[in-house]
Chains A and B, each alone.
Chain A
Amino acid sequence: MPSTKRWIQVGIVGVLLCLTLLAQEIVRVRVSVKDYAEFTRVTLESTQTLTVTIARRRPGAVEVSLESKNPVHILSGPITSRLVRAVSESRQGARLVLTIEAKTDSYTFKHFTVGSPFQLIIDFRESTPQIAPLGPKPEESKPVPTPVEKPAPPPPQNTGLQAAPLATGARTIVIDPGHGGMESGALGKAGTLEKDITLGISLKLKSLIERHLAFRVVLTRDQDVDVLLENRAAAANNNDAQFFISIHANGSYKQRSSGSETFFLNLNATDEDVRRLAYFENTQTELQGRIKADQDYQDDIRMILWDMAQAAYIRQSSRLAELIQAELNSLLGTANRGIKQAPFKVLTEVACPAVLVEVAFLSNPDEEKLLGREEFQWNVAQAIYQGLVNTIREFPAKGNPR
């Protein structure tokens, strides 16, 4: 059968052609520049692994040379950054050279690569001396909870606002000390400020988590500074946080109001929102991916998605609230106000299980005294820590109940 033979020959040639085409696949490299609190990050995301060499040929510019068997195609958008002026490409033989021009000569940079998809991350930092972040004070004499799950303490991480997504799979918890700076929050009769209490408890909680769990902790602030609400949510989203816990001290018109309560978001959903919500709940695992895929060129869509980010995590957030509240009740001896829902601005854009803990009332003179006590703050931190541990047991990975 000569015709069959001929067809086989054609097929083989076709397959070979396809293979050569595949081998010649264009490598796409997406370049993005983003400012963080203390540095500027240039990310090169490639569809294939590349051989990269980085050098600072002249003071104001860093050259990144990319080598690949296949043609490399660079995708980049307009750059607006504190530190990086421009990224330009040029060819030197088989190599493609990206020149990153800085706005100043006095900067340092560090780089590292991440596996699949291949990412080269270069962090630029202005080389003016930085104030060392305020770490949690070691309080060895204080009550220490029994080690749970991962007894080995994690290596100390450099945390704080400057922390950004790590290349490793280190899981992150973001703790948000409410208010700060010009914005003091609620005020007690004796003059206690909500912002001071929230920071005190947050630093204690951070030290407990870092001592006993294999989690990295990022604080939205570790000093008395103003932080925009959107940046608090961004701290969770940029760090791909597993959990977001906002710490607050309550205030009420009713002086006798007392006790602890844990809130999760109430979307205050209108009919249209309910439809959107249902859509997000059905596609919640895709939400993150969608947002990431849309980055850079579909800002509007991304904004709308972020606006509803918490919608996808309401159920897990309510469980986290329950488990934290249970520990607060058993440990603090304050009145149990239960878990509640309210439209807290700080929670709306957080894309992970997120709660807001109202520890006790500053507007209640007795509780104001309590809140100011170190011992009480440690108990609160321990209760939240224990609630968190119980939640981690239930949700080993983000958004996936066991």
Chain B
Amino acid sequence: MSRSRILLLAVLSLSLILLALLFFLSGGGGTLKEPPPARAGKKPGPQAEIVEMKKVRLFFLSGADGLFHPEEREILSSPIPEREAAQVVEELIKGSRQGLISPLPAEARVRQVYLTKEGTAYVDFTREFSDRHPSGSTAEIDTVYCLVNSLAMNFSSIKRVFILVNGDEKETLCGHISLTKAFLPNFSMIAQ
């Protein structure tokens, strides 16, 4: 009797362990990557990550030569590259501390950043990104490449950037530059 009970218990517990293993394995492998927070720059959950800072270089526009000049910032380090990328974009929107120009509308916010395996970062902005844009070819080009260059210079996993506005693909940023394709960085716009 007692032997069969022990056997039964053993079988039961083994099957439980198996079930639990199956659950975690399928759960871990099958779910999508955790999406980045809607507002980057917020502190991540206190229990999960150790707060570690990472140095990045933002590229702002110079009023003197019209080229992009680097400016250092510290962002919260994260194992999820999307979280770091979103912080870089938020920092670009906040603007320069050294009198350089940020060609991203100050009212715009980042909704989401997704990064594909192939290296395309999808940066989704709130509608202010285009609504509050002053329009004009040069202004639109500067907005696009401020973003694309800053992301490509800081993340080797980002090869190109696709801009979304309010979750959707938009025909143009503000009447000129096409947003229907991903942008490759343009390093020739960066000051030497």
Show the binding face of A for B, using Cβ within 8 Å: 178-179, 183-187, 194, 229, 248-257, 263, 268-270, 342-346, 348, 356, 358, 361-363
B139 and A363 within 8 A (CB): yes
Across the interface, B101 reaches (CB within 8 A) one of A185, A251, A253, namely A253
A248 to B176, CA, bound (A): 9
Whether B171 lies near A185 (C-beta < 8 A) is no
B176 touches A253 (CB 8 A): no
With contact pairs A248-B176, A345-B177, A362-B136 given, residues A253 and B141 touching in the complex (Cβ less than 8 Å) = no
B154 adjacent to chain A (CB < 8 Å): no
Provide the bound-state CA to CA distance between A98 and B150, in Å. Answer: 62
B139 touches A251 (CB 8 A): yes
Smallest CB separation, A186 vs chain B (Å): 4
A185 touches B172 (CB 8 A): no
Given contacts A229-B171, A253-B61, A345-B178, contact A185 B135 (CB under 8 A): yes
Instruction: Report B-chain residues with C-beta under 8 Å of the C-beta of A254.
Output: 61, 63, 66, 101, 138, 142
Is there an interface contact between A253 and B139, defined as CB atoms closer than 8 Å?
yes
- B43-84 to A contact mask, C-beta < 8 Å, 1/0: 000000000000000000101001000000000000000000
Interface segment among B8-16, B27-35, B86-94, B180-188: the answer is: B180-188
Contact among A187, A346, A348 with B135 in the assembled complex (CB-CB below 8 Å): A187
A344 — which chain B residues lie within 8 A by C-beta? 137, 176-178
Which A residues touch B181, using CB under 8 A? 268, 270, 343
A187–B137 touching, CB < 8 Å: no
* Chain A residues whose CB sits within 8 angstroms of the CB of B177 once the complex forms: 342-345
Q: Could you say which residues of chain A place their CB within 8 Å of the CB of B141?
A: 342
Query: CB distance A250 to B171 under 8 Å?
Result: no
Supplied contacts A342-B137, A345-B172, A363-B139, 13 more A-B pairs, CB within 8 Å: A179-B175, A184-B135, A187-B135, A194-B135, A229-B171, A254-B63, A254-B101, A257-B66, A268-B184, A343-B177, A345-B177, A361-B136, A363-B134
CB atoms of A186 and B171 under 8 A apart? no
B123–chain A nearest beta-carbon distance, Å: 16
B136 contacts A194, CB within 8 Å? yes
Give Cα distance in the complex from A356 to B137, angstroms: 10
Give the chain B neighbours of A269 by CB distance below 8 A: 184
Contact of A251 among B61, B63, B137 (CB under 8 A): B137
Pairs A-B, 6 closest by C-beta atoms: A251-B136, A186-B136, A345-B178, A252-B138, A343-B178, A253-B103
How far is B146's CA from A247's CA once the two chains are assembled, in angstroms?
25
| Residue in contact with B139 in the complex, picked from A184, A252, A263, CB distance below 8 Å | A252
Alpha-carbon separation in the docked complex, A186 to B136 (Å): 5
A224 → B minimal CB distance (Å): 15
Complex Cα gap A206–B87 (Å)? 49
**A183 to B183, Cβ gap below 8 A?**
no
A356 contacts across to B, CB distance below 8 A = 137
Q: Kindly report which residue of chain A lies nearest to residue B178, judged by CB atoms.
A: A345
Q: Which residues of B contact A179 (CB under 8 A)?
A: 175
| Interface contact A251-B134, CB-CB below 8 Å | yes
B178 touches A348 (CB 8 A): yes
Q: Which one of A248, A253, A346, A358 lies within 8 Å of B134 (CB-CB)?
A: A253
A211 CB to nearest chain B CB (Å): 29
CB distance from B150 to the nearest CB of A (A): 15
Give A254 to B65 CA distance when docked, in angstroms.
10
Interface centre among A229, A251, A263, A344, by most chain B C-beta atoms within 10 angstroms, is: A251
Give 16 pairs: A residue, B residue, CB < 8 Å, sorted on A.
Answer: A185-B136, A251-B135, A251-B137, A252-B139, A252-B142, A253-B61, A253-B142, A255-B63, A263-B137, A268-B183, A270-B181, A343-B183, A345-B171, A345-B178, A345-B180, A363-B134
CA gap between A264 and B103 in the complex, in Å:
23
Complex CA gap A356/B172 in Å reads 15
In angstroms, Cα B138 to Cα A253, docked, is 8
The chain B residue sitting closest to A248, CB to CB, is B137
Interface centre among B66, B135, B137 (most CB of A within 10 A): B137
C-alpha gap A194/B134 in the complex (Å): 12
Residues of A within 8 Å of B63, CB to CB, are 254-256
Contact with A along B110-149 (1 / 0, CB 8 A): 0000000000000000000000001111110110000000
Q: Are B184 and A363 in contact (CB under 8 A)?
A: no
Alpha-carbon distance between A362 and B181 when the two chains are bound, in angstroms: 28
Residue B109 is within 8 A (CB to CB) of chain A in the complex? no
Given that A185-B175, A268-B181 are known contacts, is A361 also in contact with B138, CB under 8 Å in the complex? yes
Bound complex: CA of A255 vs CA of B142, how far in Å?
Answer: 13
Q: How far is the CB of B168 from chain A (nearest CB, A)?
A: 15
Provide the residues of chain A in CB contact with B66, threshold 8 Å.
Answer: 252, 254, 257
Q: In the complex, A253→B182 CA distance in Å?
A: 23
B87 → A minimal CB distance (Å): 22
- Given the complex, which residues of A lie within 8 Å of B175, measured CB to CB? 178-179, 183, 185
CA of A156 to CA of B101, assembled, Å: 50
Q: How far is the CB of B13 from chain A (nearest CB, A)?
A: 54
The docked-state distance in angstroms from the alpha carbon of A178 to that of B103 is 22
